[in-house]
Structure 1
Amino acid sequence: MTNKTRSILITGCSSGIGLACAHGLQQLGWQVYATARQQSDVDRLKSEGLNSFQLDVASSDSISRGVQYLLEQCQGKIDALFNNAGFGVPGAVEDLSREAMRHQFETNVFGAIELSNALLPIFRAQGAGRIVFNSSVLGFAAMPYRGAYNASKFALEGFADTMRQELYGSGISVSLIEPGPIVSRFRANAAEQFYRWIKAEQSFHHPSYQVMAERLNKVGPAAPFTLPEQAVLDVLIKALTTKRPAARYRVTTPTTLFWYLKRMLPTSCLDRILLSASGDEPGTAYGRKKS
């Protein structure tokens, strides 16, 4: 950290990783602009002492208004962007409608890229800036019944890698954070999306969906090696302050493990491991269970 107060825009701060990172960076002296989609969450964030405003990355109009407000607040200078907003639409690929897939991509991919593009002219004029995308272990290792989310994170990683190459020598860095299981409302939010978009009782996968619903509605961590949100904050700080930030920061043991396994194992072997680690039971739809 320098004597200059550094500023950051963070999306998706209503709970979980975004909320923890907003408070954590503010405590470290950053000027944090914490955004949320719902005005009620914005009001709560303000009551917690954060500089907050409404921003729905699924809306181009909201992004335009939000960036205009941000630049007024920070006098046209901003040091970093953490694209954190995101959610999952669970369900088998064959049960995903075009509307469900579009809904998934609007926030997880299109919104993150559009917001980054809106701030790039500011970063270019400054000759410096940090863009950090919150991806996932599922951005490189797919698991069943997460097709829309898997695809959105794979796409996000492709955009981020390309953007990093295109910004080479500009003074603007692009990094990906790839968390595994983190304490958050992700599963609760995913359950809401599942009931909204998937007609479970009409699906071939209905037996497997019953198993999946138990996992989504389970209280407390549903996977081994689950870490608190602080784990993401720790690597975000590195991405924002290290002289030469890494292209990727892997968080949790499963992320690191699957990163290496993907490079060492045949695809068929990795598939079996990922099926087992997913916590769901695709085999139940075929009248069998995993051993």
Structure 2
Amino acid sequence: MTQKTILITGCSSGIGYDAAHGLREAGWHVFASCRKAEDCDRLKAQGFDAPQIDLADPESIRSGLAEVLAATGGTLDALYNNAAFACPGAVEDLPAGALREIFETNLFGTHDLTREVIKVMRAQGHGRIINCSSVLGLVGLSWRGAYVSTKFALEGLTDVLRIEMRDTPIKIILIEPGPITSKIRANAIPHFEKWIDTAHSPRAAQYETLKSRLYEDTGPDNFELPASAVTKKILHALTSANPKPRYYVTTPTYLMGNLRRLLPTRLLDWVIAKG
């Protein structure tokens, strides 16, 4: 039996790193891509094919995918779009440049890679594309406007793509994790420092509380699960004959998904603000 192949973006740590290891253990040929060359080298030392793909760089997307296809003979069974980052800050303090930067990776680069992979999957007559959204693609949360906006956009784009692909053998799937053990908080610090002028913000005092959470490791969040909880859902999405359009991961995602359907907007806002 031919070994199934999958390209995963954002494998340097967290969800992508665990998915790469978990899927390899399940028998997949994993192409574990990273943005930085040193992270690719680390994964290569662990036995992975690890193409360098920076989603903010169109040439990197093309060359990274070309490397994958050269190794597979021009085919690819699955794509897991995982790479993303956060830029904390109040919406009123977010410069347009911060939004452009985060959308380049979290949405535009993901979209560019997806379009190229669809061409491959159409030609071979099958494929699965899994996009990693978030509970923050379902509801908003204070200080996370930049990240939330990219995930809301990814949700909408994925929903339409799923509908449009109904007449093809390509399956389109969303994974929606809540709090998962990862480095997303620490990785957000450089973006926060680059773009948010806390000293001149009308919310300067409130930023002190945000900084304490951002800079200090206070341990797991409530209901936090290991990244392996996401990998388990990815495996189901890849192997099920009829995968779900959406896979929730963690209690907060199930809770917020239900509350969004059931509660009036003002009441939902109150619940989230209090939470």
TM-score (norm 1): 0.93
Q: Which runs of 4+ in 1 moved over 6 A?
A: none
* Aligned equivalents of 1:128, 1:204: Cα separation in 2: 53
* Aligned equivalents of 1:151, 1:97: Cα separation in 2: 14
* 1:126 CA displacement: 1.4
* Aligned equivalents of 2:40, 2:237: Cα separation in 1: 26
* Aligned equivalents of 2:270, 2:212: Cα separation in 1: 21
2:208 to 210, 228, 245: 210
Partner of residue 165, structure 2: 167
* 1:218 CA displacement: 3.0
Partner of residue 288, structure 1: none
Partner of residue 254, structure 2: 256
Contact 1:215 1:222 in 2 (8 A): no
1:160-199 matches, within 5 Å, as: 160-199=158-197
RMSD: 1.0
Partner of residue 283, structure 1: none
1:133 to 131, 134, 140: 131
* 1:134 CA displacement: 0.5
Contact 1:14 1:41 in 2 (8 A): yes
Figure out how many residues of one structure are paired with residues of the other and give that number. 275
* Aligned equivalents of 1:146, 1:39: Cα separation in 2: 28
2:112 aligned partner, one-letter code: E
* 1:223 CA displacement: 2.0
Q: Deviations 1:1-26 (Å, cap 9, x if unpaired)? A: xx321000000001100000001101
* Aligned equivalents of 2:73, 2:140: Cα separation in 1: 42
**Structure 1 alignment gaps of length 5 or more:** 278-291
**Structure 2 alignment gaps of length 5 or more:** none
Contact 1:183 1:221 in 2 (8 A): no
Partner of residue 12, structure 2: 14
Contact 2:181 2:220 in 1 (8 A): no
1:212 aligned partner, one-letter code: L
* 1:44 CA displacement: 0.5
What SS does structure 2 have at the residue aligned with 1:204? coil
Contact 1:8 1:79 in 2 (8 A): yes
1:98-177 matches, within 5 Å, as: 98-177=96-175
Contact 1:178 1:255 in 2 (8 A): yes
2:239 aligned partner, one-letter code: T
Contact 1:59 1:111 in 2 (8 A): yes
Q: Deviations 1:174-232 (Å, cap 9, x if unpaired)? A: 11111000000011111221111101111011111111111122325452000000000
* Aligned equivalents of 1:227, 1:218: Cα separation in 2: 19
